[in-house]
Amino acid sequence: MDIFSNISLILDTKTLALILGSTITGVLIGALPGLSSGMAIALLLPFTIYLEPSQAIAAMAALYCGGTFGGSITAILINAPGAPPAAATAFDGFPMAQKGQAGKALGMAAVSSVVGGVISLMVLITFAPTLARIAYKFGPPEYFALAIFGLSMLASISSKSPVKNLIGGLIGLFVATIGVHLTTGISRFTFGVDELFEGISFVPVLIGLFAMSEILVQASKSELLLERIKFSAIKLPSITEFKSCGKSILRSSGIGTFIGILPAEGGTVSAMIGYNEARRWSKNKENFGKGEIEGVAAPESANNAATGGAMIPTLALGIPGSATTAVILGGFQIHGLRAGPYLFEQQPDLLYTIFYGMLLANFIFLVFGLMGAKIFSRISLIPRGYLWPSVFVFCLVGSYGLSQSMVDVYIMLISGVMGFFLRRYGFSPAPIIMGIVLGELVENSLAQSIIIFDQNIFMFFTRPICLLFFSLTFLSLFYRPIKNLIMKGKKDE
Amino acid sequence: MIKDIKILSVIILISIILFGYTFTFDEVPEILAQGMQPTMMPRLIFSLIIFLCFFQIYQNKSLKSENKGLIKSNAFITFGYTLFIVLIADKLGFLISVFLFTLITPILWQRKDYVKITLYSLCMTIFVFIFFTLVLQLKFPQGILEEFIIRNFY
Amino acid sequence: MIKKIQSVFLCFALVVTSIVGIGQVATVATAADFPSKPIEVVTHAGLGGGTDTTARMLLIRTRKNLKNNAYITPKKGDSGNKAMSYVKSKPKDGHTVLAITPTHLFRMARGEAALTIDDFVGVARTTVDPIVIFVNAKSPYKTIEDLIKAGNKKPIKYGGTNVGSVDHISGLIFAREAKTKIAFVPFEGGGAIMTSLVGNQIEAAGLNLDEGKDQLDAGELRVLAVMADQRMAALPDTPTLKEKGINASFATVRGVVVLKGTPQSAIDKLEKGFLKAMKHPVYQNYLQGAGLDSSSVAGAKAWDTEIKSIYKEARAALVSLGLAK
């Protein structure tokens, strides 16, 4: 392969140091709840003008990679996903940490992240211009079909009761309707609060549902200073455990890369779908949500694959594949550069620098993650009385930080209380998150489709991609009953 | 008591209230009245929630609610204290509220090593200031310290 | 033990009071030594968006020119209204600057906004980006007249960003002035509009040139007309709507304003600092990357007149469309 003939592009001390620095910054910022890699890039953007353009862009891309991985660290250790794509990692990662297997979960997260990231980067460098055109095939009707497929997972996404999962999903969908309605401009459920007009921001809700509610759960645990010493907390996963997750990791990498390419969706949805598929095909279905290592591997490889996936339309078409890549495109502008077809034809050096930068970032966080796992996992051994107040401080700062508004802090608190009671009565946060993430997409794409189809909704069935997703939806909902029927038929013969 | 009846009735009640609230939405200007109405999706969601809740109650009708045990008062105290901290964060500033929170909460959580707590609290406050305000340049409302911080550190 | 805590508290309280004391002494300053503290630029959008990036690029050199620090405060909410009410609460001393866009002006025109058009004065314009009507290159519409004719038979599916925005209103006014019909399809952002246009989901769209530039160069999109009074330097062969006798000129403009009542000397200093910053290659390079040129930059006088006229047009348009009283 000639991919590696250009590796000399990044082999100078300054570039290497920059990539190393940005990856580690990315991991640390990604780990803090509320602070995302996109935000960090936006804040650092003005300073990059003093760098060579290719160095600046490679550093931003590396920060993006590190940030996506970083989110998993806090998701596992303190049930506070550092970034939305890591939400699914918390479902099994945190129970693992509670069982004293923090090191295993962290190690698995690092390895599966790298596999996902590297696979998607290989796809990026070999097929980007062709694959990017998928983005053009996805109009509102196709996004609607995809969102419906996503919603079909609501009932099964956690091992809690399916009806409760559905109720949780609907609550999530309701939260997504808050704000101004896209096609008519009517404000809904804003109760006169200006900040709610543009919709509820997702990050404070996420921090509340996971971290804040966990603080309340921890507060109501009465055992006085009764911390079990977790000798095994710093142990890394074994080779057999990696092998057992291999299939899930590969499947999730594929899912993540594909969904990452679609501009309207990104890491969060990929991770959720990756998690759900891992659960669907796993032998230990019942163990999911209680600390199953596959439940960490699947979402982590999916959300890191989505970073490479999201770079595909960003670089090949100049359409941002996610919120963070939108900021990276801003970085192109600052340097007077353009992404798009032109980049591949006329500036291959720049393209390769970005590619190597991201590849290197993946290996840096692998080393950092594996070595750090031993150190980070000790966080789960910090006495509760110090750990959880600190978590609250990060919740407070993180929910305020993104849009610098007190309203977001109150949203975080309210979601925390809601999460506390819902969890107490056996509702899982998974379908709620899924509902919020897909809610806007499902409603907006339906409204847009109706206008595009001149009010004739049967036009959905004239579109091949829609039909594909509708049949997938049908299969995923009725796979088991149909299989049972067939089995029964065979028995009768 | 039927299992989960309390939480399900609360959800049903809230859904009914919010369903009613959809009737107070502004009217859609004529020029924009195309396609889906803004009330359609919320009403659909609430109807489904109410239906599913009743379905769950019906399903659970023979199940007795298990004894979950009371929520420990510490959870309420902690929540009340976080709420208080957030309320004063706007007026006194983030730094002071971070300091107060990290100073008092460990004591609420039955820790007794006061010297350590004070040290911890000071370190946290300084860390938040250095990392978020100085390094990341995120501006928090600093209340009574605002003028001082703007003049000396921004 | 409790005594220890008490003494810590006491020390703390002492430190706080003394710090606040210093702060208050330092506030006594006259307009002559403007700027006497860091300048706050208030934006209405999240980090990394167009408004945010423009403001950050502007500030890089402004800091040097004014020999003073400057920082950005995002206040998101209600189409810029939150940012406006925040600025309103600040003293009129020139240390608080509002980054303004058509979003703010349209919000004001809808009524009941925190500020009215007479509450502030323009300081400088930072970017101007006319709205360009794009169609798919494979579509039968070769000229703007083709599109208008087609719209008379069946409303054109016309994409733009959210309802009530400059994209939306410009589309509606174009349709009214050209005596044609559009069915407006709102999207979440420029990228989604462009992909839907290339993917043939919609028939036409009002975009900024930058948003469709790559696809235009790649031969997937075609430009029909520019909503401006003069042709764009980057599109010398594309007619303006005005040339075609259609009175619809709309652009995404960005600039900075301060509250009315700010001392003129402060405004002058700010204007000078901003204009000099925007002449610097750092900013010019950024403009170029965004597909714009140096004509984007304008001084206080021109910018102030422009805001007022945009507001007037926005108000008239909204009232005539029944979207404002």
Q: What is the CATH number of the domain that holds C170?
A: 3.40.190.10
The per-residue pLDDT for range A294-309, each reduced to its tens digit, is 999 999 999 999 999 9
Residue A441 lies in a domain: yes
Subunit contact A393:B41, Cβ cutoff 8 A: no
Subunit contact A163:B55, Cβ cutoff 8 A: yes
Residue A233 lies in a domain: no
Subunit contact B31:C24, Cβ cutoff 8 A: no
Residues C214, C261 within the same domain? no
Cis peptide, bond prior to residue A341, ω within 30 of zero: no
Distance in Å, alpha carbon of C56 to nearest chain B alpha carbon? 13
CATH number of domain containing C99: 3.40.190.150
Distance in Å, alpha carbon of C21 to nearest chain B alpha carbon? 9
Residue A228 lies in a domain: no
Residue C285 lies in a domain: yes
Distance in Å, alpha carbon of A101 to nearest chain B alpha carbon? 25
Residues of B in contact with C24 (CB under 8 A): 147
Token pair, residue A20, equals 């190393």
Mutate to test the interface with A, among B58, B104, B138 (most CBs of A within 10 A): B138
Distance in Å, alpha carbon of C269 to nearest chain B alpha carbon? 20
Residue A232 lies in a domain: no
Q: Three-state SS for C157? A: strand
Residue C111, chain A, CB below 8 Å: the answer is no
Residue A345, chain C, CB below 8 Å: the answer is no
Nearest to A7 by CA among A328, A357, A318: A357
Domains of chain C: total: 2
- B102: nearest CB among A389, A446, A455: A389
Residue A164 lies in a domain: yes
Residues C285, C214 within the same domain? no
The residue-averaged pLDDT of C230-253 equals 88
In which band, very low, low, confident or very high, does the pLDDT at C22 lie, cut at 50, 70 and 90?
very low
Residue C72 lies in a domain: yes
Residue A429 lies in a domain: yes
Domain final residue pick, C210, C227, C244? C227
Residue C153, chain B, CB below 8 Å: the answer is no
The per-residue pLDDT for range A272-287, each reduced to its tens digit, is 999 988 988 888 888 8
Residues C174, C309 within the same domain? no
- C323: nearest CB among B29, B144, B151: B29
Residue C11 lies in a domain: no
Tell me how far apart the alpha carbons of residues A95 and A79 are, in angstroms, rounded to a whole number: 9
Residue A44, chain C, CB below 8 Å: the answer is no
Token pair, residue C206, equals 């009002």
Residue C129, chain A, CB below 8 Å: the answer is no
Domains of chain A: total: 1
Higher pLDDT, A363 or C211: A363
State ipTM. 0.92
Residue A227 lies in a domain: no
Angle at C49 between CA C43 and CA C50, to 5 degrees: 85
pLDDT of res. A156: 81
Residues C108, C136 within the same domain? no
Q: Three-state SS for C131? A: strand
Residues of A in contact with C195 (CB under 8 A): 135-136, 138-139, 263, 317, 319
Task: Find the closest chain A residue to C199 by CA distance.
Answer: A136
pLDDT of res. B144: 79
What letters, b where the CB count within 10 A reaches 16 and e where it falls short, cover C125-159? bbbbbbbbbbbbbebebeebeebbebbeeebbbbb
Which residues sit opposite A187 in a β-bridge? A180
- A334: nearest CB among C81, C183, C289: C289
Residue C20 lies in a domain: no
pLDDT of res. C24: 43
Residue B130, chain A, CB below 8 Å: the answer is no
Residue A79 lies in a domain: yes
Give residue for tokens 């006491």: C10
Give residue for tokens 């009530």: C164
Domain that holds residue A301: 2-221+238-492
The per-residue pLDDT for range B114-146, each reduced to its tens digit, is 899 999 999 999 998 888 888 877 778 887 777
Contact partners for chain A, using 3 or more CB pairs closer than 8 A, are B, C
Subunit contact C286:A45, Cβ cutoff 8 A: no
Which residues sit opposite A217 in a β-bridge? none
Subunit contact A170:B34, Cβ cutoff 8 A: no
Residue C4 lies in a domain: no
Subunit contact A194:C290, Cβ cutoff 8 A: no
Domain that holds residue C204: 129-227
Residue C169 lies in a domain: yes
pLDDT of res. A132: 83
- A167: nearest CB among B11, B26, B105: B11
pLDDT of res. A458: 87
Residue C32 lies in a domain: no
The residue-averaged pLDDT of A51-63 equals 89
Angle, in degrees to the nearest 10, between helices A87-98 and A53-78: 40
- C185: nearest CB among A180, A327, A451: A451
Contact partners for chain B, using 3 or more CB pairs closer than 8 A, are A, C
Which amino acid, residue C213? K
Q: Is the pLDDT of residue A440 over 70?
A: yes
Subunit contact A263:C53, Cβ cutoff 8 A: no
Which alpha helices (H) appear in chain C, and where do they start and end?
Answer: 2-27, 50-66, 81-88, 102-110, 144-153, 166-177, 190-198, 209-217, 264-279, 281-289, 300-320
Residue A275 burial class via C-beta count within 10 angstroms: exposed 0-12, middle 13-18, buried 19 and up: buried
Residues C84, C157 within the same domain? no
Give residue for tokens 């992404």: A339
Q: Is the pLDDT of residue A222 over 80?
A: no
Distance in Å, alpha carbon of C216 to nearest chain B alpha carbon? 30
In which band, very low, low, confident or very high, does the pLDDT at A288 lie, cut at 50, 70 and 90?
confident
pLDDT of res. B120: 92
Residues C257, C195 within the same domain? no
Q: Is the pLDDT of residue C3 over 60?
A: no
B 91-120 near A (Cβ less than 8 A): 94, 97-98, 101-102, 105-106, 109-111, 120
Query: What percentage of chain A exceeds 70 in pLDDT?
Result: 95
Q: Tell me which DSSP letter residue C102 carries.
A: H
Give residue for tokens 């403007």: C34
Tell me how far apart the alpha carbons of residues A37 and A318 are, in angstroms, rounded to a whole number: 19
Task: Find the closest chain B residue to A435 by CA distance.
Answer: B45
